[in-house]
Chain A
Amino acid sequence: EAGVTQFPSHSVIEKGQTVTLRCDPISGHDNLYWYRRVMGKEIKFLLHFVKESKQDESGMPNNRFLAERTGGTYSTLKVQPAELEDSGVYFCASSQDRVEQYFGPGTRLTVT
């Protein structure tokens, strides 16, 4: 069984540019989560999808971040325009039972 995959693994962009991160969850997992770790700090929750619906987006930092999950399969997280403080590692996780979450390898985003 394939795990959670994320693309790209690394992204380096300039301030003001746009970046789109992708997450493919484990097949059959209705629940998909995005988290972010800013350097040296804790991993923080961003939002939770159940199928294609946003269940909880209380962790989204501001309106420069847009998450979508069309068709309830893969998800994208777009940052537009990117700022320096957006740098960090973005993790995606999926879950079938909403208790045990399976994480992807993360996307390291560097904004210069």
Chain B
Amino acid sequence: AQSVTQLDSQVPVFEEAPVELRCNYSSSVSVYLFWYVQYPNQGLQLLLKYLSGSTLVESINGFEAEFNKSQTSFHLRKPSVHISDTAEYFCAVSPRGNTDKLIFGTGTRLQVFP
């Protein structure tokens, strides 16, 4: 079985500051890793994913995440946040070879203040 832990339920940060949203997972098999974002009053959107290859993956809006197999982590980072990054962020995994379902963490609410 797989599980995902997002220890920070809320992260307040000022605009232009760096941010890291933590994600750790547990799995007995190899997994694919995802970050989804939910902006206010919108649905879930895929932010970035790790399937294979380079362990550092980037999104089009400046976020990046690094897969660390030894620490079973997939933390999300951005060097300088904007007000528009205010949203809820969800880390998720799916087991390789059986991608019928995503297993989500409880989400981290990022609040960016001016």
Contacts and interface: CB of A to CB of B under 8 A. Distances in A.
Interface stretch (B22-30, B57-65, B101-109): B101-109
Nearest to A43: B104
Interface in A51-104: 55-56, 59, 91, 93, 98-104
B101 A48 contact: yes
Interface residues of B, number: 22
Contacts of A40: 106
B49 A100 contact: yes
A104 B43 contact: yes
Interface string B82-102: 000000001010100001111
B56 interface: no
B51 A99 contact: yes
Nearest to B101: A45
A97 to B, nearest CB: 8
A89 to B, nearest CB: 10
A101 B46 CA distance: 8
A36 to B, nearest CB: 11
B100 A101 contact: no
A106 interface: yes
A3 B107 CA distance: 23
B35 to A, nearest CB: 13
A98 B36 contact: no
A33 B92 CA distance: 15
Interface of B: 4, 32, 36, 42-46, 49, 51, 90, 92, 94, 99-107
